[in-house]
A and B are shown apart, each in its own frame.
Chain A
Amino acid sequence: MKTNFRTLLPAIALAFAGAAQAQTLRIGLAEDPDALDPTTARTFVGRIVFAALCDKLVDVDEKLNIVPQLATSWEWSADNKALTMKLRNDVLFHDGEKFDAAAVKFNIERHKTFQGSNRSGELRPVTSVDVVDPLTVRFNLAAPFSPLMAALADRAGMMVSPKAAQAAGAGFAAKPVCAGPYRFVERVAQDRIVFERFPQYWDKGAVNFERITYTPVPDATVRLANLKSGQFDFIERVASSDIAGLKNDSRFKVTRITEIGYQGITINIGKSDKAQANPLGKDARVREAFELSLDREGIVQVVMDGEATIGNQWVAPNNAFYAKGLPPPQRDIAKAKALLQQAGVPNPSFTLMTPTTSDAQKIAQVVQAMAKEAGFDVKIQATEFATSLNLADKGDFEAYVLAWSGRADPDGNIYSFVGCKQPLNYAGICQPEIDEQLNAARTASNVAARQTAYEQVASRVLKDRPIVYLYHRNWLYAYNAKLSGIRSIPDGLLRVQGLKLN
């Protein structure tokens, strides 16, 4: 057969544009996920993949309400120390095993005791799980813990097949067996993850694609090029600078969701001796002046092309637990200068450590320029992420640009950051009053009581400023305009149920 290059190229092009792939949903991810085992998984990107593979006891909806998934209903005991859940009766794991209360007990115990589990912290208050009957399970808690439901709406609530997990042991991540709409086919590290439709899925009417492939493409430009050339149907985390170009292209649609996490600057106010050696760490007035020197709208425009919501708390202003009485302060250079005069340091200097991601570096540069107008001399120290984390943990920093991907329950965004001696408390803040209110918010059973407790925390944290919260990014998805059924859930994870290519 005689084939020359000129005839070959269009042929290849045709093969790629192929209609044969209509039954496959092709998704471009920003990173390669880590282990595909809900117990040991640690990354945000992994949760996107899990959303198609592993159903959870409960889910969250567009407004972050807890809604049924594998559990149909639930009830707290009068003392809030026991949670009873009713389970669906028609659920099978991908290996054909039946999902029941014993499976829930197995999974929670696996999360709690598995070597290398990343879930044991989230489930620490759960002391035991009782199988009341095959479709009823009871979680017994050492103390009331309202964030539990949100944890069960995430990886801690994902159910794997007990039989498969016992057989595979530590090798489970290589061939995960869950109860989600799709089952695992293969994974080639850094290349692709392939799932196929699970025919016995309990909600199979909502599943329209035969297969899903996830391909990690770290470069945002290349990810977008793949969408535009028709190799992907859906890409996550579009660069904000590319949104303008997509708006004018009717072949694609863009969805934006305000993240449940935040971008902020952590200040060392007590983590190490460095805190007292620097006016920013030592004097709350200097920190107030620093915050007043910042124009959050300006930062969002420059760093995110406007694709973020400004904020000054650990939850976004649209969240039910945002303390509405404490809105973001306006920029006020005169007041900032006056505060610095009062503090006796008209030209304080500090080092702002930033990971080497482009967003974080842009933030540092904009902050440097803005704070300079109030008299601050900000030195930027760009540091590779793993190293910066280590320095932060040792308290070997003055200020640190740090993002948090967020948790559905506000507790996950604040407890570990300002609770005394907690693992993410890089600021080194330790106030018994804050701890008391954080714990009150954990044990309170109704929303109003939790709101009150978080208002108390906010009033202290926003005054002391261990973290200066800046904004909440938009999760930007872009996809083929023919794809319908995309839901905007604030956790930023793509739900595959209901997706359809028209």
Chain B
Amino acid sequence: MLEYLFKRLATIVPTLVFVSMLIFGLQQLLPGDPAMILAGEDQDPALIAHLRAKLHLDEPLPLRYAYWIGGVLQGDLGESVRTQQPVLDLIVQKLPVTIELALLAMAVALLIGIPTGIIAAVGRDTPWDYGATVFALSGLSMPNFWLGILMILLFSVQLGWLPASGYVSPAEDLRANLAAMVMPAIVLGTGIAAVLMRHTRSAMLQVLSADYVRTARAKGLSERVVVLRHALRNALTPVITLGALELGTLLSGAVLTEQVFTIPGFGKLIIDAVFNRDYAVVQGVVLVTATAYIVLNLLADLAYFAVNPRLRH
């Protein structure tokens, strides 16, 4: 297992170097001149020239990449040209918000997705199964922003129970923080719950027809023990991978949900940065996200060992 871990860690560095080049290269394909969009309405030629020089826009691409990566290696991700704040500060500000939202959404997804998946598999072709499938489909097909706006209209405008949008730090006021996060977490979580439910269901169906499950039943174990202890553990392996990948996606920013609920997280940061051609911010955020994604993937692989003892040998 240790050998496996080293092998995986060794691949991370070249992956990250490749990713950093990809981010930098792809961004150059964005049409439009960043200096022009940053110069604002007036388009003062002197200001545009200043911005071009400041952003090294007239220098060759490899040199610009070297400027950036050189800074990154020294822990300097550059500065947002739009707000003149250091990119690192922005990331440090936004990352906890996004992590909290992602974890809450994942909790919602797991709490809904796995039990419904089990119920659907155990009660295959019964109304339970159909009910869970309908739920899963509606969770998948309902657009996030629409569900979000409906929830705001009901819970904030009509009932006045929850704030319509915004974010309060948990350190400041935990209650207000949770009140602000409930709706976005549900909106994001239901979509993922649907995916998890489908996967749990099919994995469970496969496992439940396996020989060892029949043996367990033959031994006279209660159905509850068979399903939860014997079958579920094996069925969870693919679900864990999926969960980790979904968590990675959540960390890269739930763009629409953050936009609707005005949650100041990664999604809002990157979308505003792309529209404003704030290159340093885009690069910084994507780099951090990519790193998180790679690390989560590694953790998911390690989690297999925990749930599946056979892999340890």
Tell me the complex Cα distance, A9–B162, Å.
7
Tell me the complex Cα distance, A120–B42, Å.
11
**What is the minimal beta-carbon distance from A243 to any residue of chain B, in angstroms?**
17
Assess A390 versus B33: contact at CB under 8 Å? Given A173-B83, A225-B165: yes
> Which among A8, A191, A230, A389 is the interface contact of B36 at CB below 8 angstroms?
A389
**What is the minimal beta-carbon distance from A414 to any residue of chain B, in angstroms?**
14
Assess A190 versus B40: contact at CB under 8 Å? Given A215-B166, A386-B32: no
Tell me the complex Cα distance, A115–B46, Å.
10
Q: Is B176 an interface residue (CB 8 A)?
A: yes
Chain A residues within an 8 Å CB radius of B80: 189
Chain B residues within an 8 Å CB radius of A229: 156-157, 160, 163-164
- Report which residue of A215, A218, A219, A405 has the largest number of chain B beta carbons within 10 angstroms of its beta carbon: A219
> Which among A42, A121, A190 is the interface contact of B46 at CB below 8 angstroms?
A121
Assess A42 versus B41: contact at CB under 8 Å? Given A225-B153, A230-B160: yes
Check B157 against A225 for contact (C-beta < 8 Å): yes
Number of residue pairs spanning A and B whose beta carbons lie under 8 angstroms apart: 164
> Which among B30, B39, B85, B260 is the interface contact of A42 at CB below 8 angstroms?
B39
Tell me the complex Cα distance, A13–B159, Å.
9
Check A386 against B47 for contact (C-beta < 8 Å): no
Assess A219 versus B260: contact at CB under 8 Å? Given A12-B175, A42-B41, A404-B41: yes
Q: Is A362 an interface residue (CB 8 A)?
A: no
* A225 and chain B: residue at smallest CB distance: B164
Assess A222 versus B149: contact at CB under 8 Å? Given A42-B42, A229-B164, A389-B36: yes
Q: Is A435 an interface residue (CB 8 A)?
A: no
Pick the interface stretch among B63-71, B205-213, B269-277. Answer: B269-277
Assess A226 versus B164: contact at CB under 8 Å? Given A115-B50, A217-B262: yes
Check A15 against B175 for contact (C-beta < 8 Å): yes
**Which residues between 1 and 56 of chain A lie within 8 Å of chain B, taking CB atoms?**
8-13, 15-17, 32, 34-35, 37, 40, 42-44
Chain B residues within an 8 Å CB radius of A230: 160
Chain A residues within an 8 Å CB radius of B33: 386, 389-390, 393
Check A219 against B259 for contact (C-beta < 8 Å): yes
Q: Is A167 an interface residue (CB 8 A)?
A: no
**What is the minimal beta-carbon distance from B34 to any residue of chain A, in angstroms?**
8
Check B272 against A32 for contact (C-beta < 8 Å): yes
Check A13 against B162 for contact (C-beta < 8 Å): yes
**Which residues between 262 and 307 of chain B lie within 8 Å of chain A, taking CB atoms?**
262, 264, 268-269, 272, 275-277
Q: Is B152 an interface residue (CB 8 A)?
A: yes
One digit per residue, 1 when the CB lies within 8 angstroms of any chain B CB and 0 when it does not, for chain A 410-425 equals 0000001000000110
Tell me the complex Cα distance, A231–B262, Å.
13
Chain A residues within an 8 Å CB radius of B51: 116
A interface residue count range (under 10 / 10 to 19 / 20 to 34 / 35 or more) = 35 or more
Q: Is B215 an interface residue (CB 8 A)?
A: no
Q: Is B82 an interface residue (CB 8 A)?
A: yes
Chain A residues within an 8 Å CB radius of B161: 9-10, 12-13
Tell me the complex Cα distance, A30–B179, Å.
23
Check B84 against A222 for contact (C-beta < 8 Å): no
B interface residue count range (under 10 / 10 to 19 / 20 to 34 / 35 or more) = 35 or more
Chain A residues within an 8 Å CB radius of B125: none
Q: Is B25 an interface residue (CB 8 A)?
A: no
Tell me the complex Cα distance, A220–B37, Å.
23
Q: Is B31 an interface residue (CB 8 A)?
A: yes
**What is the minimal beta-carbon distance from A138 to any residue of chain B, in angstroms?**
25
**Which residues between 142 and 194 of chain B lie within 8 Å of chain A, taking CB atoms?**
149, 152-153, 156-157, 159-167, 175-176, 178-179
Tell me the complex Cα distance, A118–B272, Å.
21
- Report which residue of A13, A15, A228, A229 has the largest number of chain B beta carbons within 10 angstroms of its beta carbon: A229
Chain B residues within an 8 Å CB radius of A115: 50, 54
Check A386 against B272 for contact (C-beta < 8 Å): no
Q: Is B24 an interface residue (CB 8 A)?
A: no
Check B42 against A386 for contact (C-beta < 8 Å): no
- Report which residue of B50, B51, B152, B262 has the largest number of chain A beta carbons within 10 angstroms of its beta carbon: B262
**What is the minimal beta-carbon distance from A217 to any residue of chain B, in angstroms?**
5
Q: Is A78 an interface residue (CB 8 A)?
A: no
* A390 and chain B: residue at smallest CB distance: B32
**What is the minimal beta-carbon distance from A246 to any residue of chain B, in angstroms?**
12
**What is the minimal beta-carbon distance from A125 to any residue of chain B, in angstroms?**
14
Tell me the complex Cα distance, A188–B169, Å.
11
Tell me the complex Cα distance, A188–B171, Å.
15
**What is the minimal beta-carbon distance from A11 to any residue of chain B, in angstroms?**
8
Tell me the complex Cα distance, A16–B155, Å.
13
Check A222 against B262 for contact (C-beta < 8 Å): yes
Chain B residues within an 8 Å CB radius of A170: 84
Assess A231 versus B32: contact at CB under 8 Å? Given A189-B93, A215-B262, A222-B262: no
Assess A116 versus B50: contact at CB under 8 Å? Given A16-B179, A222-B164: yes
Q: Is A327 an interface residue (CB 8 A)?
A: no
Tell me the complex Cα distance, A229–B155, Å.
9
Check A12 against B162 for contact (C-beta < 8 Å): yes
Check A389 against B32 for contact (C-beta < 8 Å): yes
Check A190 against B260 for contact (C-beta < 8 Å): no
Tell me the complex Cα distance, A230–B261, Å.
15
**What is the minimal beta-carbon distance from B278 to any residue of chain A, in angstroms?**
10
Check B259 against A34 for contact (C-beta < 8 Å): no
Tell me the complex Cα distance, A9–B182, Å.
11
Assess A121 versus B149: contact at CB under 8 Å? Given A9-B162, A15-B176, A116-B47: no
**What is the minimal beta-carbon distance from A252 to any residue of chain B, in angstroms?**
12
- Report which residue of B30, B34, B80, B165 has the largest number of chain A beta carbons within 10 angstroms of its beta carbon: B165
**Which residues between 88 and 121 of chain A lie within 8 Å of chain B, taking CB atoms?**
115-118, 120-121
> Which among B44, B82, B166 is the interface contact of A118 at CB below 8 angstroms?
B44
Chain A residues within an 8 Å CB radius of B153: 225
Q: Is A174 an interface residue (CB 8 A)?
A: yes
* A9 and chain B: residue at smallest CB distance: B161
> Which among B44, B164, B264 is the interface contact of A121 at CB below 8 angstroms?
B44
**Which residues between 388 and 409 of chain A lie within 8 Å of chain B, taking CB atoms?**
389-390, 393, 404-405
**What is the minimal beta-carbon distance from B183 to any residue of chain A, in angstroms?**
11
Tell me the complex Cα distance, A37–B40, Å.
14
Chain B residues within an 8 Å CB radius of A43: 40
Assess A35 versus B83: contact at CB under 8 Å? Given A12-B175, A188-B93, A226-B165: yes
Check B175 against A390 for contact (C-beta < 8 Å): no
Check B42 against A423 for contact (C-beta < 8 Å): yes
**What is the minimal beta-carbon distance from A186 to any residue of chain B, in angstroms?**
11
Tell me the complex Cα distance, A229–B166, Å.
12
Check A386 against B31 for contact (C-beta < 8 Å): yes
Check B160 against A190 for contact (C-beta < 8 Å): no
**Which residues between 27 and 62 of chain B lie within 8 Å of chain A, taking CB atoms?**
30-34, 36-47, 50-51, 54
30 A-B interface contacts by CB (under 8 A): A12-B175, A13-B160, A13-B161, A15-B179, A16-B176, A32-B272, A34-B40, A34-B82, A44-B41, A115-B50, A115-B54, A116-B50, A117-B47, A118-B44, A170-B84, A188-B264, A189-B80, A215-B262, A216-B262, A222-B261, A225-B153, A226-B165, A384-B32, A384-B275, A385-B37, A386-B36, A387-B31, A389-B36, A393-B43, A423-B44
Q: Which A residues lie at the B interface, using CB under 8 A?
A: 8-13, 15-17, 32, 34-35, 37, 40, 42-44, 115-118, 120-121, 170-171, 173-174, 188-191, 215-219, 221-222, 225-226, 228-231, 384-387, 389-390, 393, 404-405, 416, 423-424
- 5 nearest CB pairs, A to B: A42-B40, A386-B32, A191-B264, A387-B31, A229-B156
